[in-house]
Structure 1
Amino acid sequence: MIDRDELTDADYAALADFRYALRQFLAFSERGAASCGLTPQQHQALLAIRGAAHANVTVGYVAERLALKPHSATGLVDRLETLGLVTRRPSPDDGRQALLAPTQKARTLLRELSETHREEILRLRPMLTELLARMD
């Protein structure tokens, strides 16, 4: 019987290859964001806001999705608002919170970025599937 607690050379190689593939995708994503005049963090925040399964997106939600401290997320959202990419409106349930929404400008940028990201993920799918299978 194989002790699954013991990592093999193949396990280390699979982990290294998987991390490399993720880093390659992140570099692709960073270049895409830059080509649209966004930082990677701005792109990620816009995607979190647009991709939320609910309409009540707050700065706290952005902080959670991007693993940021609330004050850092507030600064990020402030910059997105200054760029005309996000609007804030008071929450009808809690006047202390503002609800965030992407502007049409942000939706247009996100559509362009998301189309290319989806194409890249589909291109990488066979390799990622094979890497994940090597983890078994």
Structure 2
Amino acid sequence: MEPPLSKDVYEFLADFRYRIRKFLRFSESAARSQGLTPKQHQLLLSVKGYPGRDYVTPSELAERLQITHHACVGLIDRCEQIRLVTRRPNPEDGRSVLIEVTDKGLDVLRTLSEIHLEEIKRIGFFKEN
């Protein structure tokens, strides 16, 4: 039988979850203050922050957002309607498209990212050199 976990472990995990939830609540509120839903903000950040490039396929985006492909396509549609992202043909696969952030989307994302970085610094998770 495994030895029981110490009280310190439970306190650490509880505090960690509390801090995550508090940050997420902050993030959700910040997105809404800029006229976006939290999912729209996550989509923009996932596209612009994709490793090594500034575009993604819907499948890659669905994985990053941890939602179904169908739900992701709907979210892309809504973001495209308000000109936050664009689709373009994938030159490597004619059955696929690539999603990119528009200038309008980048403006909103830049504002939100600055707000988020300030909050991350304030709570002590990130320090500038």
Aligned residue in 2 for 1:124: 123
Give CA deviations for 1:66-101 in whole Å, capped at 9, x if unaligned. Answer: 101100000000000001100000000101111011
Aligned residue in 1 for 2:49: 51
Give the RMSD, CA atoms, in angstroms: 1.6
Aligned residue in 1 for 2:27: 29
Provide the rounded CA distance (Å) in 2 between the counterparts of 1:119 and 1:8.
Answer: 34
Q: Mark the runs of 5 or more structure 2 residues left unpaired by the alignment.
A: none
Alignment partner for residue 39 of structure 1, among 37, 40, 51?
A: 37
Q: Tell me, yes or no, if structure 1 residue 89 matches structure 2 residue 88.
A: yes
Aligned residue in 2 for 1:14: 12
Q: Mark the runs of 5 or more structure 1 residues left unpaired by the alignment.
A: 129-136
User: How do 1:73-84 and structure 2 match up within 5 A?
Assistant: 73-84=72-83
Provide the rounded CA distance (Å) in 2 between the counterparts of 1:81 and 1:5.
Answer: 53
Q: Which runs of 4+ in 1 moved over 4 A?
A: none
How much has 1:9 moved relative to structure 2?
A: 1.1
Q: Decide whether the 8 Å contact of 2:44 with 2:101 is kept in 1.
A: yes
Aligned residue in 1 for 2:107: 108
Aligned residue in 2 for 1:133: none
Larger radius of gyration: 1
How much has 1:117 moved relative to structure 2?
A: 0.3
Provide the rounded CA distance (Å) in 1 between the counterparts of 2:116 and 2:3.
Answer: 36
How much has 1:125 moved relative to structure 2?
A: 2.1
**Percent same amino acid at aligned positions?**
49
Compute the TM-score of the two structures, normalised by the length of structure 1.
0.86
Q: Which has the higher helix share?
A: 1
